[in-house]
A and B are shown apart, each in its own frame.
Chain A
Amino acid sequence: MKRILIHSFLTLTLAVALGLLNQWYTVIIAAAVSSYVVRLKGVWVFLAPFIVIGLDWAIEAYFIGAANDFILAKKIAVLLPLGGSATALIAVTGLLGGLFAASGSLVGRSLRALR
């Protein structure tokens, strides 16, 4: 459990720091580095960054949207298409963020295994 928490903390810190570069894929790098440095086992390699970055993206999206009555979120949720539901769009935002991070984590973990 401790490892998972350390890993999560590291992922989040790196994601926020690299996030200053304003490149979406920094979450992949953050998770990869974390899993290279901190060794996780089994499904946690996937789940830990998935949850942390997923929540990060979803919460950030929620606060940005809430400050503007979700005007654009409701429109993008027509485009994607998610029936115009801002909630669904926030969920998809989190899901995708989590998935990207998790894929990076797998690379970091398997690279670590090659050491």
Chain B
Amino acid sequence: MKTVKFIASVLLCAALFYIGHFGLGSLPPLGKFISPTSGFWQNERSETSGEITVLSGLSQPVRIQYDEQLIPHLFAENDLDLYRAQGYITAKHRLWQMEFQTYAAAGRVSEIVGPAAIEYDRGQRRKGMVFGAENALDEMLKDPILAARIEAYSEGVNAYIDQLEPKDYPVEYKLLNYTPEPWQPLKSGLLLMYMTDMLAGGDADLENSNFVSLFGKETFELLFPEFLTDQDPVIERERNWSDFENIEVPESPGQLSAMALVNETLEQPDPDNGSNNWAVSAEKSASGNPMLANDPHLGLNLPSIWYVMQLATPDHNVMGATLPGALGVIIGFNDHIAWGVTNATRDVKDWYKISFTDESKTSYVYGQESKPINEVIEAIKVKGADTVYDTVRYTHYGPITYDERFKGNGREHFAMKWIGHEPNSNQNTFLNLNRARNYDDYLTAISTYTAPAQNFVFASKENDIALWIQGKIANKWEQQGKFVLDGSNPEHEWQAYIPQAHNAHTKNPERGFVSSANQHPTDEAYPYYVYDANYEAYRNRVINDFFRSKDRFSIDDFKALQSNNYNLKAAEGLPVMISLLEGSGQSVVGSAEGYLNTLKGWDFLNDENSLGASIWEAWWTNLYDLSWDEFEQSEVALHWPDAYQTVWLLKHHPEHEFFDRLDSAEKEDAAAVVQLAFEQAVKALDAHVKEGKSLEWASYKATYVGHLLQALPAFSRFDLPVGGNGNIVNAMKKNHGPSWRMIVELGSETKALGAYPGGQSGNPGSKHYDDILDTWAAGEYYPLLYLKSVDDQPSMMSFSSTLNPKS
């Protein structure tokens, strides 16, 4: 009996230990997680005081002042100390995020979350994310100065990780029951690949080829024109290109002759990943000082993608938004210049149909010869399950992403040629911008930058403003890479790149301002072939009209423009829709009449409390989906026409066959679809009201900032009181929008403002986790305190820390 009791008690205790230490199903390991001495309670703390610590590898002490937003102002005596300290401090506040993002980039999420992420991981592997990061790292390590900096940063991160005990791990590690691994320079490369994928990872080649096969070239040209009418390109139309000499554009060898339809492609990055930036000259500035602003539009996540820092040595002093995992400041200013970026939106990813020489699929046809395949076996470790293996075949173009084992059409093979895989030193561009003092320095810094191509906006205290569309961009023949290319035809290769000096740019234009908002880079006069499937059609016109509206602009004007809620899409689309609705002769009664009257009186502002904005959105989204039901119901991959072309078609081709709905026997035209969309919208809006919910825009839209772990509700912020939307300058969508807002005025004193949807701490238990978010949501800013020295502005500082070299 005693033995039985003993065995029973041991079994009970062992069971509890197991649940407590390893977790059960989706439950975290309860004992480990909830214990006050080692579990999440240890993360229940805010950063309120500094410390004096040893950071081995430093040559001199690094002093850090934290201001009230927990923005660290780092003062080091030399560059290597600075980047070592940057790595250490960034890890201190953002370790989990910086590591998780590199797992996501490398296709290793299954290691953390289990089988649910296997397909995602396979996709990342098949995109060659690690291949690209390794190519970049090899190139970066060739430059001894950059190599030493990356190494110092990496060691700084590791110094922080090494001194952690399990109880100190960020709470996400405890929740998912894993531990941080050592940082490596490759991870900085992976982080930059993550950004490249987000910004230059989209394309529509296979989708375009599908469309032409199904509906013909003529309809394709109608729905997807290369130049939209009425657009205001990044480089002003007044700019002529007569200063470009020796322009050579390759001749077209013709397109790929035959290809089967492709059913499935990888998920595309959000086409609204983009940004606004602008700068005004001294003459156009109310204060007489050049000013610059930037707001990158990305997924709204916590911890925030940006981490604000000031980084100073005796030789340079820079402040702005950093990317945890990358060195230096990415978007920012120093005492001489300011710079910002928006995505230059260029088709830099092409697909080549590969013809194997035989069934073994170990070599492929290339002209009169054959080339060998390099097989890479990808091992995807999976939490709680066996490792999954996937073989990816590499061609000289890049990885065969789609083949008989992964998406595509299950039989043909498509290799990816992507600028993201090219060796690059893009990290250096940012480090050189951090140190730039004038236009020439800026130009030198950006001229080697390859991808993701960016519109680099610039302003300096020497009263220069400029904008270069910089990236390594293939010099393509007309329509090259708009459709799938023939991998067996050497003439289908990218023949050359556009010479860097011929990348579209403007310096001190007559109009006194430069701006970009992911629109078409130039007008038709630019001598090289320019194409992308996703040019933004609205923000550019609102921004440029604003800057043409008066002679001089102040910081308040800049703030107002970043929060500008004017819905130009609605202003152009709604009159067409109302006219089609009323022209149909159907009577509008009941709640529908009320909605229609509200819309007729709407000022086209997507302000927080606007009712018109919600009614418009309900009507528009229904109309868009009904208009393109052929796309919705298609079994092959297709790229959808954009909003601009949808309105254009409603207006100019209301009888077009695309308006005829697939699932009705009648023949519909635009008016019928507009009317049906309105009826559906009325129903949805009535149901919304019936549930007791508000129709005010902010409430209807319900913007949220979601934790990186699939918006884990406990660590996310919901129902933010914000206006705006996609295609609006204030680009706040439901879970996407201005991820960093910065305004800089370059007067005798450098003045800057900033805000972002989050906080400096990555710890959900810190008051600094989301303390900047509400300011951001209100369209307000914090001053970015640019310290001249470590002892500057002491009354504005919260506490200080010192990192000492090992004695």
Hey, which bits of chain A sit against chain B, CB under 8 A? Answer: 19, 22-25, 27-28, 32, 57, 60-61, 64-65, 67-73, 75-76, 78-79, 92-93, 96-97, 99-100, 103-104, 106-107, 109-111, 113-114
Question: How far is A75 from B709 in the complex, measured between Cα atoms in Å?
Answer: 14
Q: Given A22-B165, A110-B6, A114-B2, decide whether A71 and B36 contact each other with a Cβ distance below 8 A.
A: no
Question: For window 157-175 of chain B, which residues contact chain A by CB distance below 8 Å?
Answer: 165-167, 171, 175
Total A-B residue contacts, Cβ distance less than 8 Å: 122
User: Does residue B767 face the partner (Cβ distance < 8 Å to A)?
Assistant: yes
A residues near B34, Cβ cutoff 8 Å: 24, 57, 92-93, 96-97
Task: Give the chain B neighbours of A111 by CB distance below 8 A.
Answer: 6
Most chain A beta-carbon neighbours within 10 Å: one of B9, B712, B714 = B9
Name 21 A/B residue pairs within 8 A (Cβ), A-sorted: A22-B37, A22-B165, A22-B166, A24-B32, A24-B38, A60-B36, A61-B36, A61-B41, A64-B42, A68-B767, A71-B765, A71-B767, A72-B764, A73-B44, A100-B16, A106-B12, A107-B6, A110-B9, A110-B10, A111-B6, A113-B6
Alpha-carbon separation in the docked complex, A27 to B17 (Å) = 11
Chain B proximity of A37: nearest CB distance (Å) = 16
Report how far A108 CA is from B763 CA in the complex, Å: 39
Q: Is the CB of B35 closer than 8 A to any CB of chain A? A: yes
Q: Mark B6-30, 1 if CB is under 8 A from A, else 0.
A: 1011101100110011000000001
Q: Which residues of B contact A113 (CB under 8 A)?
A: 2, 5-6
Task: Across the A-B interface, give the 9 residue pairs with the lowest CB-CB distance, nearest first.
Answer: A72-B765, A24-B35, A60-B36, A106-B9, A79-B714, A78-B714, A110-B6, A103-B13, A72-B44
Contact partners of A78 in chain B: CB under 8 A = 713-714
Contact B6 A60 (CB under 8 A): no
In-complex Cβ contact of A106 among B13, B165, B714, B715 (8 A):
B13
Q: Are B167 and A22 in contact (CB under 8 A)?
A: yes
| B766 contacts A104, C-beta separation under 8 Å | no
For A20, the closest partner residue in chain B by CB is: B37
A28-B17, A103-B13 given as contacts; is B6 within 8 A of A114 (CB)? yes
Contact B714–A28 (Cβ < 8 Å): no
| Interface class of chain B by DSSP | helix
Complex CA gap A93/B31 in Å reads: 9
- The answer to whether the Cβ of B694 comes within 8 Å of any Cβ in the partner chain is no
The answer, among B3, B31, B37, B175, for a CB contact under 8 Å with A100, is B31
Given A22-B37, A75-B715, A97-B35; A114-B44 close (CB under 8 Å) = no
Closest chain B residue to A45, Cβ basis:
B9
B29 CB → nearest A CB, Å: 9
Contact residues in A for B5 (Cβ distance below 8 Å) = 110, 113
Within 8 Å by CB of A76, from B20, B21, B37, B714, lies B714
* Bound Cα distance A45, B294 (Å): 66
A111 vs B6: C-alpha distance when bound (angstroms): 6
A64-B41, A107-B10 known; A79 and B712 CB under 8 Å? Answer: yes
Are B13 and A24 in contact, with the CB atoms below 8 A? Answer: no
Given the interface contacts A24-B31, A24-B35, A114-B3, does A109 sit within 8 Å of B9 by beta carbon? Answer: yes
B13 touches A22 (CB 8 A): no
Report yes or no: A96 in contact with B31, Cβ–Cβ below 8 A.
yes
Hey, which chain A residues are within 8 Å of B9, CB to CB?
103, 106-107, 109-110
- Contact (A57, B35) CB under 8 Å given A72-B765, A99-B16, A103-B16: yes
User: Which B32-64 residues sit within 8 Å CB-CB of chain A?
Assistant: 32, 34-46
B671-725 residues with Cβ-Cβ distance < 8 A to A are 712-715
Other than A78-B713, A100-B20, A113-B6, give 17 A-B pairs with Cβ distance below 8 A.
A22-B38, A64-B36, A64-B41, A65-B41, A67-B45, A71-B766, A72-B44, A75-B715, A96-B20, A96-B31, A103-B13, A107-B6, A107-B9, A107-B10, A109-B9, A110-B2, A113-B5
Q: How far is the CB of B38 from chain A (nearest CB, A)?
A: 5
Q: Contact flags (1/0) for B378-418 with A, using CB distance below 8 Å?
A: 00000000000000000000000000000000000000000
Taking CB atoms and an 8 Å cut-off, the chain B residues in 766-801 that contact chain A are: 766-767, 769
Residues from chain A with a CB closer than 8 A to the CB of B167 are: 22
Contact flag A72-B712 (CB < 8 Å), given A60-B37, A100-B20: no
- A24 to chain B: closest residue by CB: B35
A97: B residues at CB distance < 8 A? 34-36
CA A70 to CA B766, docked complex, whole Å: 10
Looking across the interface, which residue of chain A has its beta carbon closest to that of B37? A19
Q: What's the dominant secondary structure at chain A's contact region?
A: helix
CB distance from B709 to the nearest CB of A (A): 11
A54 to chain B, nearest CB (A): 12
Q: Which residue of B lies closest to A27 (CB)?
A: B35
A73 closest partner in B (C-beta): B44
Our pick among B21, B35, B171 for the contact of A72 (Cβ within 8 Å) is B171
Name the A residues within 8 Å of B39 (CB-CB): 24
Q: Is the Cβ of B17 less than 8 Å from the Cβ of A25? A: yes
- Residue with the greatest number of chain B CB neighbours at <10 A, chosen from A22, A28, A69: A22
In angstroms, Cα B763 to Cα A68, docked, is 13
Looking across the interface, which residue of chain A has its beta carbon closest to that of B763? A72
Contacts of B766 in A (CB 8 A): 71
Which residues of the other chain, A, contact B36 by a CB distance below 8 angstroms?
57, 60-61, 64, 93, 97
Known contacts A70-B44, A79-B712, A103-B16; decide if A24 and B3 are in contact (CB<8 Å).
no
B759 CB to nearest A CB, Å: 11
- Verify B31–A25 contact, CB threshold 8 A: yes
Partner of B37, one of A24, A32, A72, A107: A24
- Is the CB–CB distance between B40 and A72 below 8 Å? yes
Task: Output the nearest chain B residue to A18 by Cβ-Cβ distance.
Answer: B37
Chain B residues with Cβ below 8 Å from A103 are 9, 12-13, 16-17
Which residue, A72, A106, A107, A114, has most C-beta atoms of chain B within 10 A? A72
A65 to B43 CA separation, bound complex (whole angstroms): 10
* Highest count of chain A CB atoms <10 Å: which of B31, B35, B769: B35
Contacting residue for A107 out of B13, B44, B767, CB 8 A: B13
Q: Which residues of chain A are near B37, meaning CB under 8 Å?
A: 19, 22, 24, 60
CB distance from B32 to the nearest CB of A (A): 5
Measured between alpha carbons, how far is A11 from B31 in the docked complex, in Å?
18
A113 to B721 Cα, complex, angstroms: 65
Q: Which of A28, A65, A76 has the most CB of B within 10 A?
A: A76
A22 CA to B2 CA, complexed, in Å? 33
A26 nearest CB across to chain B (Å): 9
Flag B134-174 by CB within 8 Å of A: 1 or 0 each. 00000000000000000000000000000001110001000
Residue of B16, B35, B764 near A75 (CB, 8 A) is B764
A66 to chain B, nearest CB (A): 9
Across the interface, do A65 and B2 meet the contact criterion of CB distance under 8 Å?
no
CA distance A45 to B429 in the complex (A): 68
Instruction: List chain A residues, Cβ under 8 A from B715.
Output: 75, 79
Chain B residues numbered 709-767 whose CB sits less than 8 Å from any CB in chain A? 712-715, 763-767
Q: Check B713 against A60 for contact (C-beta < 8 Å).
A: no
Q: Which residue on A lies nearest to B713, using beta carbons?
A: A78
Closest to B39 in A: A24
Q: Name the distance in Å between A106's Cβ and chain B's nearest Cβ.
A: 4
A96 to B166 Cα, complex, angstroms? 20
Chain B 270-302 interface residues, beta-carbon cutoff 8 Å to A: none
Q: Provide the bound-state CA to CA distance between A68 and B767, in Å.
A: 8
Which residue, of B45, B763, B766, has the highest number of chain A Cβ atoms within 10 A? B45
Closest residue on chain A to residue B32 by CB atoms: A24
Within 8 Å CB of B40, what residues of A?
72, 76
Q: Which of A61, A75, A113 has the most CB of B within 10 A?
A: A75
B47 to chain A, nearest CB (A): 11
B contact residues around A107 at 8 Å (CB): 6, 9-10, 13
> With A57-B36, A65-B44, A72-B171 known to touch, is A25 a contact of B764 (CB < 8 Å)?
no
**B714 cross-chain contacts in A, Cβ below 8 A:** 75-76, 78-79
Cα of A61 to Cα of B33 in the assembled complex, Å: 12
In the bound complex, residues from chain A placing their C-beta under 8 Å from that of B13 are 28, 32, 103-104, 106-107
A18 to chain B, nearest CB (A): 10
The answer on a CB contact under 8 Å between A23 and B38 is: yes
In the complex, what residue of chain A is closest to B1 when comparing beta carbons? Answer: A113
Known: A57-B35, A104-B13. A24 touches B20 (CB 8 A): yes
